Amino acid sequence: MDDADVRPWLADTFDVSRETLEKLDRYVELLLAEAERQNLIASSTLPIVWDRHIRDSAQLLGFARDLGAQGSWLDLGSGPGLPGIVIALLNTRPITLVESRARRAGFLFRAVEELALSGHVTVEARRLERIETRPFDIITARAFAPLPKLFDLAHRFSRRETLWLLPKGQTVDDELEAVRPLWQGEFDTVQSLTDPRSSIICARKVRPRRR
């Protein structure tokens, strides 16, 4: 999809208001400005930031529609806020962004303040291992860790019905094969809207196998 078509797609798909679109515009401005100071996104994606990053992040919200407006969200390895900040701009669920790298966490703090998201967004600038255990209804992780390591680290933040939304690239089949001897659950794979080589793993009832 051309970048110019992403705003109408957002408005139609998620009933996005003009005010929210203006905040997304501002977020993109912040993202591109910060990308000149630190390596937040691949340089090849700068000309297509709306499709490759904003739409790519927003599509995850569609999988959570059956949960209504309720539920807490945990985004692991948020980096520059992809998908976490985009998700936070498009809905009002409480969302926690975990990013241990200081410079990227600093950008997240500034973006949350600039975009007036502090009412429902929390930034955790710590390693996941140092964060106290509490359950979330939705967990996202984009380029955070391979599935076996991800579940080892993050399972304590889930409950049986937690929805895991995990964007993956061409390694998706290998990761699923590696995780199945160790973890069980309901795993579905859906092709990404923005890249035919990428998929989204939608998982529920994730739990360790008895060993």
Complete domains list, the chain, with CATH: 3-208 (3.40.50.150)
With beta carbons less than 8 A apart as the criterion, state whether 169 and 201 touch. Answer: no
Alpha-carbon span 199 to 159, nearest angstrom = 24
* pTM score: 0.95
The predicted-structure confidence for 179-193, as pLDDT tens digits, reads as follows 999 999 999 999 999
The predicted-structure confidence for 41-91, as pLDDT tens digits, reads as follows 888 888 999 999 999 999 999 998 777 667 899 999 999 999 999 999 999
Q: In sequence order, which residues have a C-beta less than 8 Å from that of residue 61 and are 6 or more positions away?
A: 14, 87, 90, 91
The 8-class DSSP code of residue 55 comes to I
Encoded tokens for 151:
């579940």
Q: Does residue 168 surpass a pLDDT of 90? A: yes
Edge-first strand listing for the sheet containing 199-208 = 121-124, 95-98, 73-76, 138-141, 163-168, 199-208, 183-191
Alpha-carbon torsion, ordered 52, 33, 25, 12, to 10 deg: 10
> How many Cβ atoms from other residues are within 10 Å of residue 62's Cβ?
13
Above pLDDT 70, what percent of the chain? 98
When pLDDT is cut at 50, 70 and 90, the band that residue 116 belongs to is very high
Q: In sequence order, which residues have a C-beta less than 8 Å from that of residue 14 and are 6 or more positions away?
A: 58, 61, 62, 90
